[in-house]
A = this chain, B = another copy of it.
Amino acid sequence: MNVTLLSYTPDPERTCAAAALTSFWHKGASETHHVLSDEEIDDILTKVMGYGHVSVIEHATFTFSLEGISRACSHQLVRHRVASYTQQSQRYVEIENFSPVLPPSVRANRDAAKVYDDVMGSVKQAYEKLIGLGIDNEDARFVLPNATPTNIVVTMNARELRHFFKMRCCERAQWEIRDVARRMLACVRPVAPRLFRRAGPSCVCEGRCPEGDLSCGRIRGAADEEG
């Protein structure tokens, strides 16, 4: 898996702070945007995010390239509707000799790993045979497994990213999308530390766990991890 931050709103915290200031000052953002000091930006964002006025951080958007994730993972990902996606098409791209994503639990189990490798080999052969028999990509792909790697470009704003991190950085999320989410968070935190302060699962961002009996129990140590 490869997670890259391709592009993002320049000076994202300045943009969000200028927007926030618009709501409670008589001056417009064209006047304040260029003159805000780092300290003022910090003050404004601390104040409005502290009050839960999170809509202001929607003005900062981040575009990622996620490469080599499984189709199982991309199917979960695109369920987040407040985002833009462009995904590698299995209709237009012939999926040659792919490297399937391998779950850690399978890797750790020698017998399971053997079963997994064998069936992946059979599937690749079948896919190529179908193509050879004149079946189109779009129909041959019906044999491709959830493990098939895919590439996807994702754009989300900072508010939706924080929500995504809350849901998907949690120990209770599936391991692969959790790995994606943590890498995405590692990409954005250095470029917008104030927008992603205390971003993470509920135990980090809210100091509480909604999972009840299913909790991982990590809440006791959550304070240590705050960004």
Please list the residues of chain A having a beta carbon within 8 angstroms of any beta carbon in chain B: 2, 4, 6-11, 15, 18-20, 22-30, 33, 50-52, 55-56, 58-59, 61, 63, 65, 67-68, 70-72, 74-75, 78-79, 81-82, 84-93, 96, 100-103, 105-106, 109, 111-112, 115-116, 118-120, 122-123, 125-126, 129-130, 133-136, 138-139, 141-147, 151-153, 155, 157, 174, 210-212, 214
A214 vs B50: C-alpha distance in the bound complex, in angstroms? 12
Q: Out of B119, B129, B155, name the residue touching A61 (CB < 8 Å).
A: B155
Residues of B within 8 A of A144 (CB): 145-146
Cβ-defined contact, B55 with A84, below 8 A: yes
**Chain B neighbourhood of A29, CB < 8 A:** 4, 6, 65, 67, 151, 153
Instruction: Give the chain B neighbours of A101 by CB distance below 8 A.
Output: 142
CA of A182 to CA of B33, assembled, Å? 23
Q: Is the CB of A109 within 8 A of B134?
A: yes
Q: Is the interface of A mostly helix, strand, loop or mixed?
A: mixed
Closest chain B residue, CB of each to CB of A111 = B133
Instruction: Compute how far the CA of A8 lies from the CA of B53 in the bound complex, rounded to whole angstroms.
Output: 22
Contact A23 B87 (CB under 8 A): yes
Q: What chain B residues lie within 8 Å of A105 (beta carbons)? A: 135-136, 139
> A12 — nearest CB in chain B belongs to which residue?
B7
Interface contact B119-A22, CB-CB below 8 Å: no
Closest B-chain residue to A120, C-beta based? Answer: B143
Seed contacts A4-B30, A119-B126, A145-B145; 19 additional CB < 8 Å A-B pairs: A4-B29, A6-B33, A9-B63, A22-B65, A22-B88, A22-B151, A22-B152, A59-B84, A61-B61, A71-B75, A72-B141, A75-B78, A78-B79, A102-B142, A109-B135, A112-B135, A115-B129, A116-B126, A123-B123
Residues of chain B contacted by A7 (CB below 8 angstroms): 9-11, 15, 33, 59
A206 nearest CB across to chain B (Å): 9
Residues of B contacting A61 with CB < 8 Å? 9, 61, 155, 157
- With CB as the reference atom, state the residue of chain B lying closest to A53: B86
- Cα-based distance from A214 to B24 in the complex (angstroms): 17
Q: Could you jot down 22 A-B contacts, CB within 8 Å? A: A19-B86, A19-B153, A23-B87, A23-B88, A23-B92, A24-B92, A30-B67, A51-B214, A56-B86, A59-B84, A106-B139, A106-B142, A111-B133, A115-B129, A116-B142, A116-B143, A118-B126, A119-B122, A119-B126, A141-B146, A144-B146, A145-B146
